[in-house]
Amino acid sequence: MDWKDREQRFLQMMNRLENAPEILQLKQYPQHGTNDTFQHSHNVAVYAWHLARRWKWKVSPEDLAMGAMLHDYYLYDIEKSGLTDYRHGVRHPVTALENAEKIYELNERVRNIILSHMWPLPFTAMPKSREAILINLADKYCAYQEMKKGVVRVEDILKNGDK
């Protein structure tokens, strides 16, 4: 399968997920400054796909999109949750997985993407696939860009270069 086919599958899955009412509700939860959890998850998906293409890593486009859009599916406002940053950091992947499994049938790879996206926090939840590694790296990169540089859409960085 060539990259054009893989990209088409990735875009189809992203379109399906980003139009699902369950995923659209992520727009009500702020994250990383000016973004919401929906936009952050979108950014992670797009940047992870960018890395996969750049590094020529053959990955499952569907699992990459699904894992990215559900990695922060914890469904609460962090500021109003009463959780410390550390407690949120170690707990939210488990909460995201529990919530995601209520609405989707997830395979083991997607489960690991969600649980390991904060690695090395906790150290025991390690990424076990290329997809999980990509989401882990993309999540950190996008969070930095969103919090420290005020980036809303990662596509703007990819188009204009990281300045």
**Statement: the pTM of the whole predicted model exceeds 0.85:** yes
pLDDT of residue 31: 86
Q: What is the mean pLDDT for each group of 10 consecutive residues in the chain (163 residues)? A: 91 98 96 89 97 96 98 91 80 96 98 96 89 98 90 85 61
Q: Which domain holds residue 142?
A: 3-16+23-160
pLDDT of residue 160: 79
pLDDT of residue 55: 97
pLDDT of residue 162: 61
Residue 152's domain is classified under what CATH number?
A: 1.10.3210
Q: How many domains does the chain have?
A: 1
| Residue 135 neighbours by CB under 8 Å, 6+ apart | 44, 48, 64, 67, 68, 71, 113, 117, 127
